[in-house]
Structure 1
Amino acid sequence: MSELRSALDALAVDDLHAVPDGALLERTADLVEFINRASAELTRTVRHADVVGAAEHDGLRTMQSLLRGHHHFSSGAAAAVVRAGRVLEHLPRLEAAFAEGAVTAAQVGVVTDALRPCDIAAAAEQDIDLDAFDEVWTEVARTLPHAKLATAVNAFRNALDPDGPEPDPTEQRSLTFSRRADGSGSGRFDLDPVGFEKALAAIESIVQTDRPLGDLRNRAQQQGDAFVQLCDNALAQGDLPFLRTVKPQVIVTIDVEDLVDAATGHDTATTGFGALISAARARWVACDSAVTRIVMGPDGLPLDVGRTKRVVPPHIRKAVEARDGHCVFAGCHAPTHWCDVHHLLEWLRDQGDTSLDNSALLCERHHTKVHHGFRVERDETAPPGNRWRTQRPDGTEIVLDRLRV
């Protein structure tokens, strides 16, 4: 192990700027092979430690818990290593290719995810030759793109139950969320083929519609925005099931003094699910929301809950939609039902009126931009269809029609 560490230390001090392109690619190939072989050896070691109960040496019950607690693996990553070790005992060819560095840990994961203990037992009961599948999977993993391996693995499932009933799709679906300290979050979902197709169709419909001029977002960012927009649409329709006694909604709680103070910084407002956000984000949410006044006593308990007031009433929103027709940010044509009604002069901080003249339609993406330095304003002297101006934070205008002066 000391020799491995020394070799890595030597690599780490190399000046990569001095390495030719071809040598960089060779170095990459060597490192991929090294990582694959190291991953295979880790899997083999963890498997043996699992069998002999080595984790008890440190007072732990399983190697999975040791990988999580001592080595900071996520639950999923720790489970994947342990599961791979158990499955590879039945797949000697794939295990050998992994040890040679010709197969990645991710490829091994594709196979082991589909080869549960019950599947191995079922194959034995039905006299299915697992060795033949081992040979095919190893060849596919060595020579074909990663996605092809999943197709080859699926053939094993079909062989186990060629004429059986289709599995319940709801048993194949899962969705998990993980929130970070700043209130943002990530997630993972697993869907059956039809459910996944539905998700792709819904997301893609929004991605292809929301493509404003000058959009530099990558594919992942576009799909992330589309997912939030899909949730926005569902919440706005009002057809979702009630949460206890109220319709599901985005809730933000903030002191009125913080809401109106432009100098207020981070971690000022609290969302309904417990995230802390800045006052600036709270002001953005408040642009087109219902506001409830709650008077608190000195002990922190509510004394009075005032009547909820809608910032933008339905008749004003209809008028703004009829006038603007879509998001007014330069180059964007997001439809009205994707848009918030933005107060040009903020409703609370600047005492801006809730009126047609003080309103503009902005999609979520560009509503955020306007609350972070961009500006939209209406020019009544311009011809119809060209009356909105968009300025960058530095005061320059975004001009799409270069003939305009």
Structure 2
Amino acid sequence: MGSNQGCVGRVGEAIAALVEHDPATLDDTALRTALLDLLRHANQLDAAIARYVGAFDDRKLGRADGWSTTKQWIQAYGRLSGPAATSRMRAAATIRLLPSLEAAFDAGEVTREHVDRIGLTAREIGDEVVESAEEPLVAIARGHEPEAVRETCERLIDEVIRDKRIPAQEQHRRRGVTVARAGDMWKLRGILDPETGVLLTTALDTFTKAPAPDDERSPAQRRHDSLADLLNTVLREGRAPVVAGVRPHLAVLMPVRRYAALHDHGTDQATDRATDRARGAADADAADGPAVLTGYGVIPDAFAARLSCDANLQQVWQHPDNGLPLKLGRAYRNTPPALRRALATRDPHCRWPGCRMPANWCDSHHLRTWIRDNGATDIDNLVILCRYHHVSVHERGWGIRYDPGSGTVAITRPDGTPYELGPSRARTGRYATLTRLAA
């Protein structure tokens, strides 16, 4: 163990020395050689990280730091996005599955993109199929860019889907749908079982009208728009299940003066901004903040104006420093929908430092208990916690402290020592929360 720790320490020292070195001092040939070496070493470092991730996951060490999975631990402590942490986990599993790919990764001959693409394929069509195609896949990865591996994997997936010799139960196991951000858009990918495929095509056909003479949309674009109509209809008619006491909806958060300006409600924007400047720069920034689509991020004004055109308006006035909205006292023990929406405005995800579980999948936790401590169902006595971290506070001895002055949440370990991560901060600013049952 000590030898391994010493090895990692030496890597750290070498990287620190490398950061100190100025590449401008190298001649052209030396710079080219050094850059190629660095790219290869980066691949080798990724291979080493994948093995360490696998060993860490085998021992379930993340639980000691308050995380149910290694992926969540990596995301929190490595400050990675969810997809990036998932990619690290997938790399660890893939090199275990394919020894020759691991050897190429160790040698720096393939990148994490190559490994990730092959790992995604194994997830879609099964480890056994990818193992049987290991030799050609690794050969392509060694000699070509990740796009070539992707094309090869897609051909392999198509062959497996069309192979009628594969038992129906095994084909059914390969079903799945993935929705992922791709820049400002979303990418949808999936393998559907026969019944679901027919249901989807029938539903899309129902919402797809014959194209008008001036309709320049492609068939794929028309199917996309039909899918949007289908989703809108399901949400508008209330056929989707209630989650955490709230009907599914799109939530657009924006400063009230921006909302008024977008919809021409008679607000003199120049006067408002002059007033803001008189109140201070920080307050002006809060008032002039962008519109935010929950679950997506900042959106342009034109998009925000369209989404909020026929939305239900709920004003949530927040303190610019701590994000505190409203109070409901002890009239309710369970968090009612209006307060739940206000709470999600301040806490759009679990407030455990580093956790990004969306609020609609989380619980509302009373900091002072409703029965024993006479805790009120007020916004300053509630925080959003995912189920795992909610149980950690109630049953595993972890402590949680909320500072109403700053809106921060700090965690203590069961032994009373401060948690290394955090504190987490509330989303702040004065917002009008505009909710739509559909886009």
**TM-score of the superposed pair, with normalisation by structure 1:** 0.47
Using CA pairs below 8 Å that are at least 6 residues apart, which structure has the higher relative contact order? 2
**TM-score of the superposed pair, with normalisation by structure 2:** 0.43
